[in-house]
Structure formats: structure tokens, C-alpha cells
Amino acid sequence: MLFHDTPLSGAYVLEPQPSHDERGYFGRVWCAEELAEHGMNATWVQSSISFNDQALTLRGLHYQAAPHDEVKLIRCTSGSVFDVIVDLRADSVTYGRWFSVELSAENNLVLYVPKGIAHGFLTLQDHSVVEYHMSEPHHAECACGVRWDDPAFGIEWPSPPAAMSDRDRKYPDVEDTR
């Protein structure tokens, strides 16, 4: 696997290095030893998927607050998404900055998201499926979010969303979460 730095401290794009033959290919999506060698969490206690029927569906920006803040490993297994992370760690040198990457079934990229970073995505194709591995079980009382279009972040989404939940639409600006 290749590990690519992002502009956000502690966040990485992982690129599998598959072996190809006449059947297709085989490759690792993640490896506990390799993650640990890079100082990354490699303990996953929960795995979830998100099926999104139509293109331009927006989910996010979500995070789980302390004491159950979590590390996430995210990949798109069908279709494609414009995946976004935003640094909400008050003590971070990259606080308030965002990063995006296209995750797709074709490119097989994986996004490693450390604790304290909000995550969201906009589907680019119908029938997109996003898979998450999390370091903490879901705790509803710690489930939080910030507004996807908060001007404090200035995220350059490729298109306005066509579908999103009321919960995501009603998240506050980051300044209102302090």
C-alpha cells in the first residue's frame, strides 16, 4: 500500500497496490501492521455501509465527539463520491481546513480520518456505496455534525446537493458548536 499525506494533520489517502493476472486483481485495502508502522490506529470495532440511490446525495459533515471520538477508514465500493474531511481539532495547526478526494470503485482509494475530523460526501453516481470502519462503536449521544456549506470552511463542492437528510440540513455552523 502507498500512504499519501493530505493537507490535514494525521489524515491520509491509502492506495492499494493490487497484483493483476488473467482473473483480475487482488490487493489489500488496509493492513494493521502497515497502519501501525505509520503511527495510525489499526483497531476497528464497527463496520458500516451507506447505500445512496441517486447521484448528488449529500451526507455530512459528521463526527463523533469525545469521549467516543473515532478514527474512520472510508472507501467507496460502488459508484463514486466527492469525499470531504474538515479538521475540527481546536489545537490542530490545520484547524478549519478541509480536504477532498474522489473515492470510487474504480480507483480503490481509502481515506484514513483521525479523531476530531468531520466527514461527509456527495455522491457523483447513482447507486454509490460507501464503506466505513470505525475505531469506536456508535454512541448516539456523541453523534454530531456541522453544516456542509458553512462559509467558515469554504468547501468547493462540485455541485449543490439534490438530496440530503433534514438532520444534515439543520446542523449548525462550526462557530455555533463551541
Helix (H) or strand (E) holding 4: strand 2-5
Q: Is 5 helix (H, G, I), strand (E, B) or coil?
A: strand
- CA distance linking residue 14 with residue 85, whole number of Å: 15
Cα-based distances in Å from 137 to 58, 63, 141, 143, 149: 23, 12, 12, 11, 27
Query: What are the catalytic residues?
Result: 62, 132
Region of 32 please: left (phi>0), alpha (psi -120 to 50) or beta.
alpha
Instruction: Check: CB of residue 168 under 8 Å from CB of residue 148.
Output: yes
